[in-house]
């Protein structure tokens, strides 16, 4: 069973078998990813791209093979379209400062959505402060879906860029990103997609979506923390200035000037997270070996089972009921604070997330400070959902 591939799942917490429903925060790692990281440190530990000795060559090959694996996972035209970053947050900031900032004048607009994680809000606020541009927001409805009736009118001649999330980490809403890209491109507006929550759950094809940039978070897709990639169209990456300066991103340095290296090296200054990149490549191969359709089908079954089970709890309210969503459930129980619920069910071995999930504007919309969030992955089981429901009912009984 594929669940056996994830060693961290097989333990007890507070004397109970672990039920891990915090996958939207960070997913578990399969043994093949752990082995890939360990193998690098045990057998190939060297810096990459610069050494002529054997270990450096082997490490470089592994690192670039990982880039190629990730390109296949999201169907990028070439591995050279991918820049290794620490995660989606760095990817968004890189594009904000090197592609978008220089395009903005006072009064120009950046378009985002109400469903964004803070990492796809704050970088754009910083750019607006730097340039005098304005942030515009695509609204959402009570179902947790974007309101697109007047989407075309939101885009004006002053709109210079759009950045939207593919899948909401708080509500699970799957946005129609291909449609959004097409509408934006019809008005010559470049688009970035935050794919942190998409690559573990959906088939991602950046060429089919048509976006200009797409960010991937390693630790959400069973890879190491502090890893990720930014996809960009070649013409954009070639034109963009480097984000950091230092070794590797140059081809020649004098005291008078520096000549930058070609893409992707131009954006990868200094010694990277080599082990993390190699581990992320192993995670991409793992997803492709399992099959994204297999993952999606299994998670659809779990999603329906969980939704029905939660709806059977009196006083429980699920926030966001989008027609298309991933297996993420943000909920409240009447009369009980989310933190109290999270603490109580932890004693039953159940791990969920409580709070605002780095999406404060979503909870301002619902006029609540936060929620409980149960986020599932394909290695979870119906039996674990039953344990969640039982623990929630016991929490209710304590506060009755």
Secondary structure (DSSP) of 66-82: HHHHHHHHHT-S-GGGE
Place of tokens 């400062």: 97
Closest CA to 165 of 119, 203, 122, 206: 119
CA-CA distances (angstroms) from residue 315 to 105, 202, 306, 384, 392?
50, 32, 16, 21, 11
Region of residue 49 (left: phi > 0; alpha: psi -120 to 50; beta: else) = left
Predicted confidence (pLDDT) per residue in 238-253, tens digit: 999 999 999 889 999 9
How long is the chain? 400
Q: How confident is the model at residue 400 (pLDDT cuts 50, 70, 90)?
A: confident
Q: How confident is the model at residue 276 (pLDDT cuts 50, 70, 90)?
A: very high
Q: What is the pLDDT of residue 234?
A: 98
Predicted confidence (pLDDT) per residue in 349-368, tens digit: 999 999 999 999 999 999 99
Closest CA to 215 of 113, 362, 95: 95
Does the pTM exceed 0.85?
Answer: yes
Place of tokens 């469903």: 115
Predicted confidence (pLDDT) per residue in 214-229, tens digit: 999 999 999 999 999 9
What value does the mean pLDDT of the chain take?
97
- Give the whole-angstrom CA distance, residue 394 versus residue 400: 10
Q: What is the pLDDT of residue 1?
A: 61
Predicted confidence (pLDDT) per residue in 291-339, tens digit: 999 999 999 999 999 999 999 999 999 999 999 999 999 999 999 999 9
Instruction: Domains for the chain: give ranges and CATH numbers.
Output: 32-289 (3.40.640.10), 292-399 (3.90.1150.10)
Q: How confident is the model at residue 118 (pLDDT cuts 50, 70, 90)?
A: very high
Q: How confident is the model at residue 50 (pLDDT cuts 50, 70, 90)?
A: confident
The interaxial angle of helices 274-290 and 31-43, nearest 10 deg, is: 150
Partners of 137 in the beta sheet?
112
Question: How many CA atoms does the CB half-sphere of 308 hold within 13 Å?
Answer: 7
Q: What is the pLDDT of residue 127?
A: 98
Structure-block tokens of residue 24: 């939207």
Phi, psi of 34 (to 5 degrees): -60, -40
Strands 371-375 and 353-355, by their bridges, are antiparallel
Q: How confident is the model at residue 51 (pLDDT cuts 50, 70, 90)?
A: confident
- Give the burial string for 169-207 (b: 16+ CB within 10 Å, else e): bbbbbbbebeebbebbeeeebbbbbbbbbbbbbbebebe
Q: What is the pLDDT of residue 289?
A: 97
Active site residues: 358
Predicted confidence (pLDDT) per residue in 133-146, tens digit: 999 999 999 999 99
Q: How confident is the model at residue 2 (pLDDT cuts 50, 70, 90)?
A: confident
Q: How confident is the model at residue 202 (pLDDT cuts 50, 70, 90)?
A: very high
Checking if the pLDDT of 376 tops 80, the result is yes
Total H helices, total E strands in the chain: 13, 17
Checking if the pLDDT of 55 tops 70, the result is yes
CA-CA distances (angstroms) from residue 79 to 84, 142, 207, 246, 263?
11, 40, 13, 22, 10
Percent above pLDDT 90 for the chain: 97
């Amino acid at each position: 069973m594929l669940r056996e591939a994830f060693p961290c799942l097989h333990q007890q917490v507070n004397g109970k078998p672990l039920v891990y429903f915090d996958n939207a925060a960070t997913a578990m790692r399969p043994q093949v990813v752990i082995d890939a990281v360990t193998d690098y440190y045990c057998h190939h530990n060297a810096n990459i791209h610069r050494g002529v000795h054997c270990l450096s060559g082997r490490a470089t090959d592994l690192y670039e093979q990982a880039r190629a694996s990730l390109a296949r996972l999201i169907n990028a035209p070439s591995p050279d379209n991918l820049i290794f970053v620490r995660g989606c947050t760095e990817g968004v900031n890189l594009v904000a400062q090197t592609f978008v900032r220089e395009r903005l004048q006072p009064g120009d607009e950046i378009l985002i959505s109400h469903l964004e994680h803070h990492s796809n809000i704050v970088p754009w606020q910083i750019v607006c402060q730097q340039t005098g541009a304005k942030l515009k927001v695509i609204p959402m409805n009570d179902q947790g879906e974007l309101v697109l009736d007047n989407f075309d009118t939101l885009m004006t001649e002053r709109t210079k860029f759009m950045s939207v999330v593919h899948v909401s980490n708080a509500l699970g809403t799957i946005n129609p990103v291909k449609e959004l890209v097409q509408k934006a491109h019809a008005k010559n507006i470049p688009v970035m997609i935050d794919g942190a929550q998409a690559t573990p759950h959906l088939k991602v094809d950046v060429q089919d979506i048509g976006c200009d940039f797409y960010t991937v978070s390693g630790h959400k897709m069973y890879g190491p923390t502090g890893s990720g990639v930014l996809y960009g169209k070649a013409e954009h990456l070639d034109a963009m200035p480097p984000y950091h300066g230092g070794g590797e991103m140059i081809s020649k340095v004098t005291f008078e000037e520096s000549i930058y290296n070609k893409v992707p090296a131009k954006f990868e200054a200094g010694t990277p997270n080599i082990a993390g990149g190699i581990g992320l490549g192993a995670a991409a191969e793992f997803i492709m070996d399992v099959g994204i359709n297999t993952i999606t089908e299994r998670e659809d079954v779990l999603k329906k089972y969980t939704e029905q089970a939660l709806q059977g709890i009196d006083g429980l309210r699920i926030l966001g009921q989008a027609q298309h969503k991933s297996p993420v459930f943000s909920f409240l129980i009447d009369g009980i604070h989310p933190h109290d619920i999270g603490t109580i069910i932890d004693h039953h071995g159940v791990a969920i997330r409580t709070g605002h999930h780095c999406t404060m504007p979503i909870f301002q919309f619902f006029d609540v400070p936060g929620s409980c969030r149960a986020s599932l992955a394909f290695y979870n089981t119906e039996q674990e959902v039953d344990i969640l429901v039982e623990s929630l009912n016991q929490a209710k009984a304590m506060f009755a």
